[in-house]
Chain A
């Protein structure tokens, strides 16, 4: 028996693909992914219309979708993150139906509860056998963890593996396995591994960024969570990685060994485990090729599914065991709400990813951001878009002061006792405005709804309006 099908066209036929269906994809190949474009091009060629694309994150490489929205092949998008000209197109009202933005934990929750019903999941696989046992650690297009594809494989009505590396049965090691796979289709190339590096995976050299990083590491040290068995997550931004480097020095100084690092994984975390600073890595996504190599060779570097990572409906998920997380922001407001969806003009430039999940689950959630970018204040009266609600944000760290959420008075005392420069969020905003002046606020009510922001529990927490009338 073999599940190998000779072409995508045949897969469409066998799956009973129809107009209006939801097709899902994962983003582990990030900006090097070819599969979404190949499948949607083929669907357009076959005349399919009104498709809903449920891809965990969308990158500039997926700008092909603009063409397919214009020609009617695609009329809906369900995603956790969107960057590049597609975001600009959506922000300008290019698609009639609002985009549904979820989080990395909210997406598996929606899939498992049926809020997001997937008709056909197309899973890009760097390595597969004829029955659909796949992994991300072997093959010319290896991308490491396939964590975000698990809920799709387990819950879609039909699941199709798309690979450029068909190997003998049984494929070892196995990530997603044959029990959930209907068909396997082989194409020339599923993507370009070198482009999984997003460009934000180097430690910043900007002195302001380094100052913020140093402050963030000090906050962790002062908070009391940094003790034996400490667990930690940070993003791949330059300042976040610099904070991780500062934290490393503090852990070495205090002789502390951490239990696990979590999240999007980079070389820095791989090195932490190699030098014994942390015992293990729980990896839902690899951010660079060092992480890809490590997950394929180090038994203490483990792939985890999106549901295990952050699904609030799971019996437990890893973010709930997280001691500290460092996250970024495009804007923060006086209620500690954080925006990572839109820029200061309201243009879509990102999305939650795991932002709101890690903030909600961790014992200490730290937002790092410069007090101003260019001529704009980053601490504002009201964020353009609420990505992560303020009640889950513990502390804001800038280069000109640290603000603690009033819901955490003990934390504020600890930071002050450590000698850190703790100020109120209002004072931070005042400092920002003193430098930049008060920016003119864009009239929000002018645009129509182009996206809905769905929180990890499935509730709708905000909407994004078009930037043009």
Chain B
């Protein structure tokens, strides 16, 4: 799945809900948690449910950020929104494998009740010191886990760090999340950039995240989507190299070779997987 940009849409904003597919993000996260005040939770749940039943989301990953398992809302959230197509549940404040187990069990029950054949993914948000410390345990807490998501705003509050545009204070956490995600073979999603007007800093921040190994980035403003999508697109050089790798592999298979080299270097499985991912991303943006 291509997941360069994941756009948050407040669950209580009808105009944003109805326009959620016009901005070009790869994934849409309908938010029932932080964007919605406590006295609006019911309304947001119903609005998101109706949005899911009314609009066509083909071509998009549909995610819903439910309320945390420590809140009284999360089960009601699931019961309401799973009546229609949801690909992934984004779980805030994930801190342990037990959190994932609890959600997974609830999902299994509802999948049966609603006759949902496709397994619903879980994308945990790591946004506390404990969550970061348990990142690999969380990433490998079952086959529903499809990505780890770093939430830097709550995290920096939790560790009493000053949140900056440069992001030195989250460097360790970013690296830790990427390593945990890759170790568990799932995507790593970077925290949103919160200044909606500063597109230059957004580009720098996104490029840095990409270079660290993140697969994509969450966005809180539609204005950020193009920058994030374009940054996570592979460069011309990367695409060219990926083509050469895949051609060499295809040629090796035709010749029945077990090991294939390119320019004198052995091509192993991770190089091939990376090449496939690059070609997939390039194709998604219409690059032939």
Contact = CB atoms under 8 A, between A and B. Distances in A.
B286 A207 contact: no
Q: How many of chain A's residues touch chain B, expressed as a range? A: under 10
A146 interface: no
A81 B19 CA distance: 32
Interface string B8-21: 00000001101100
A399 B286 CA distance: 20
Interface in A378-401: 399-400
B18 A207 contact: no
A387 to B, nearest CB: 26
A400 B21 CA distance: 9
A62 B282 CA distance: 57
Interface in A53-77: none
A261 to B, nearest CB: 24
A399 B21 CA distance: 10
A115 to B, nearest CB: 45
B22 A210 contact: no
B18 A210 contact: no
B222 interface: yes
Nearest to B285: A419
B286 A211 contact: no
B10 to A, nearest CB: 12
Contact of A210 (B15, B222, B286): B222
A211 B15 CA distance: 14
A249 to B, nearest CB: 11
Nearest to B16: A207
A12 B16 CA distance: 57
A208 B19 contact: yes
A403 to B, nearest CB: 15
A419 B286 contact: yes
Contacts of A400: 22
A400 B15 CA distance: 14
B223 interface: yes
Contact of A435 (B18, B221, B226): B18
Nearest to A212: B22
A211 B22 contact: yes
B193 to A, nearest CB: 16
For A207, A208, A214, A419, which residue has the most chain B Cβ atoms within 10 angstroms?
A: A207
A399 B18 CA distance: 12
Nearest to A374: B15
B286 A208 contact: no
A211 B23 contact: yes
Nearest to A215: B22
Nearest to A372: B18
- Of A208, A210, A214, most B-chain CB atoms within 10 Å: A208
B18 A211 contact: no
A211, A419, A435 pick with most chain B CB within 10 angstroms: A211
Contacts of A207: 16, 19, 23, 221-223
Interface residues of B, number: 12
B80 to A, nearest CB: 22
B228 to A, nearest CB: 14
Contacts of B55: 435
B223 A208 contact: no
Contacts of A419: 286
B19 A210 contact: no
Contacts of B23: 207, 211
Contacts of B223: 207, 210
Contacts of B286: 419
Nearest to B221: A207
Interface in B189-248: 221-223, 226
A222 to B, nearest CB: 14
A399 B23 CA distance: 8
A129 B127 CA distance: 72
A399 B19 contact: yes
B23 to A, nearest CB: 6
A438 to B, nearest CB: 16
Contacts of B22: 208, 211, 399-400
A210 B286 CA distance: 22
Interface in A420-438: 435
A214 B16 CA distance: 18
A47 B16 CA distance: 56
A245 to B, nearest CB: 12
Interface string B39-63: 0000000000000000100000000
A419 B16 CA distance: 25
A128 B277 CA distance: 71
A214 B23 CA distance: 11
A211 B19 CA distance: 11
Interface in A196-214: 207-208, 210-211, 214
A400 B23 CA distance: 9
Nearest to A435: B18
A310 to B, nearest CB: 34
Contacts of B15: 208
A316 B226 CA distance: 42
A175 to B, nearest CB: 39
Contacts of B16: 207
Nearest to A211: B22
A225 B185 CA distance: 48
A218 to B, nearest CB: 11
Nearest to A206: B15
A326 to B, nearest CB: 19
Contacts of A214: 226
A211 B25 CA distance: 12
Contacts of A210: 222-223
Contacts of B18: 435
A399 to B, nearest CB: 4
B54 to A, nearest CB: 8
A435 B22 CA distance: 13
A435 B221 CA distance: 23
A419 B288 CA distance: 12
Nearest to A207: B222
21 contacts: A207-B16, A207-B19, A207-B23, A207-B221, A207-B222, A207-B223, A208-B15, A208-B19, A208-B22, A210-B222, A210-B223, A211-B22, A211-B23, A211-B222, A214-B226, A399-B19, A399-B22, A400-B22, A419-B286, A435-B18, A435-B55
Interface of A: 207-208, 210-211, 214, 399-400, 419, 435
Given A207-B222, A208-B19, 18 more contacts: A207-B16, A207-B19, A207-B23, A207-B221, A207-B223, A208-B15, A208-B22, A210-B222, A210-B223, A211-B22, A211-B23, A211-B222, A214-B226, A399-B19, A399-B22, A419-B286, A435-B18, A435-B55
Closest 10 A/B residue pairs (Cβ):
A207-B222, A399-B22, A208-B19, A419-B286, A211-B22, A400-B22, A211-B23, A210-B223, A207-B23, A435-B18
